[in-house]
Amino acid sequence: MIRVSKVRLISGDGEQLGIMTTQEALDVASDEGLDLVEVASNADPPVCRIMDYGKYKYQASKKDHDSRKKGKVFQVKEIKFRPHTDEHDLDFKMKNLRKFLGKKFRVKLTVTFRGRENAYKNKGMELLQRIAHEIEDEGIIDQHPKYEGRNLTMVIAPK
C-alpha cells in the first residue's frame, strides 16, 4: 500500500470536498461511518470517494447479473447425416429438425463423408438443398453449405 500525502475528496452524494491530506480524508470517512475508496489513481492528486464499499460491490454484482440475464443465449443443435441416408432415417431427422426450429433453436446440419464417399460430395450438396427446400416455410438458411474437410455443413435459423 503506497501512501499519498494529498488526495482530492468527493463526498458520498458527489459533492467535491477539496484537496486534503490522506489522514484528514480517512477521518472524514470514518466520521460518516463509510469507506475511503480511490477512484482515479492517475490524477494529480489522486481522487478518492467516500462510499460504502460493500454496498457498491453488491450493486455492481447485481447489475452484472441482470445484464447477463437479459442477454440472449443462442443454442445450436446439430443433426448429422451421411450421403446415403435412407428415406425413413431422413424423415425422422426432418421431424427433429422441425421440432428444434419450433423451439427457436438454430440447427447445424452436417453431412459426413468417409472413405470412398468423398467421390460423391455432390450427393451431400443435393441432400442439404433438398432439406432446405422442404423446410423453407419454417426456417431460413443462416449459413449456406460449405465444405470443412470431410464434412459439409449448413446452418438453419428459425423464421
pLDDT tens by residue, 101-122:
999 899 999 999 998 988 888 9
Cα 14 to chain centroid, rounded? 34
Residue indicated by cell numbers 426456417: 139
39, 48 contact by CB (below 8 A): yes
Torsion of CA 13, 15, 16, 17, to 10 degrees: -80
Residue type, 26: L
The predicted pLDDT at position 118 comes to: 87
CA distance 73 to 93: 24
At 38-92, the pLDDT tens digits run: 988 888 889 999 999 999 899 999 998 888 887 666 789 999 999 988 999 999 9
The predicted pLDDT at position 85 comes to: 87
Q: What is the overall mean pLDDT for the chain?
A: 90
Q: Which residues, in sequence order, are CB contacts of 113 under 8 Å at separation 6+?
A: 82, 83, 120, 121, 124, 150, 151, 152
pLDDT of 2 over the 80 cut: no
The predicted pLDDT at position 4 comes to: 77
Looking at the DSSP bridge assignments, the partners of residue 152 are 111, 147
The predicted pLDDT at position 129 comes to: 93
Domain assignments of the chain as residue spans, ordered by start: 6-69, 76-158
The predicted pLDDT at position 3 comes to: 73
The predicted pLDDT at position 14 comes to: 85
pLDDT band at 147 (very low <50, low <70, confident <90, very high): very high
Assign domain 76-158 to its CATH architecture: 2-Layer Sandwich (3.30)
The predicted pLDDT at position 82 comes to: 92
Cα 95 to chain centroid, rounded? 29
Q: Specify the fold of 6-69.
A: Ubiquitin-like (UB roll) (3.10.20)
The predicted pLDDT at position 155 comes to: 95
